[in-house]
Structure 1
């Protein structure tokens, strides 16, 4: 079964310096029909203006994954971590018992385009931690590349939940057939381009919840970038 979540149906908030689209209920956007999908609680597509960003603010009891699509994002946190993320970088922050961080676009000219993802952890009060890894385009081209998992296998970042997160870059006409377990649940989020997923055409910003299948099939109708969440 496949259930579509179209880009234009998402919540939207434009703060001038921040233009944000909410796949699930977030901040002032509330839709009881779209609170979360399994342990996937937030997917925000953010456009941050040059030189702007989020000042220091707290989180707790959440796994936060950031995936940069364009531009750069500077991260600082109360654990002493500091880094600049660029396309291909994946960051995981375990908020656990509490963490404070800031996120800024360090460019004076270019906007930053990113996906910020929140995943409910399998237990509360984890020790806060941080991890960032780079996955070059060739590692994601023409296939589903594991970028986050519970056990950190294949060089993925560690997320404290029974889930696997894959990223893919497909050129127009490229196909993927990915065997899956019928007792798992899948969320596909298209970041760019146009891709047909199990017979349904999804464009940038579109998503689909997929259940009770044994194969995920993807055919790019235009160059595309998308994420696949494999969830318990």
Structure 2
């Protein structure tokens, strides 16, 4: 068998092979909520046996896509970092569900609607909420999108005046465009997107709902976003 002379090819093939399994893909998508899950929780989420989940998780940890933590008898896993989260979200954005994958029950339909309306994408806000926030920041001259995402000077002041700290991002870019897989438009990611999401959850502008990544805007959040960004409450529901 002829092998590629490109030194990157074997690693790329191995990475693709890790993701090219429906159970492992389900685990990666679930972990986009930014939290650590136990093997049992992921097994129930993907409807597989605990032994099957453990085998798949071992491969994902060994392949560098997941990080493992142990507390007592419990084993927790999370995505290995923002680069892995970006890879999973970017791949998910390329997939258009066909009729066979569409909701079969009212419960599935409601869950899908909630995810499309507002959710976390690893550590930033996505769905219609993420797009609405990104558009509001852009319309008010706080975020530029013409040459890639970048906060303006006014945008930096806005984050500071809103009490949203942008420190602690390390080498991570301050802003990054992340293609939203339901809206098919970019929303704000990077350390600024993460800071905005973290503040929204800490200040209870948003609360998590259910066991998925879905969130909803609270009345406090509606008032705050109307005051800070001029967003109508109806656009957040």
What is the TM-score of this pair, normalised by structure 2? 0.27
Larger radius of gyration: 2
Give the number of the structure with larger relative contact order, counting CA–CA contacts within 8 Å between residues 6 or more apart.
1
What is the TM-score of this pair, normalised by structure 1? 0.28
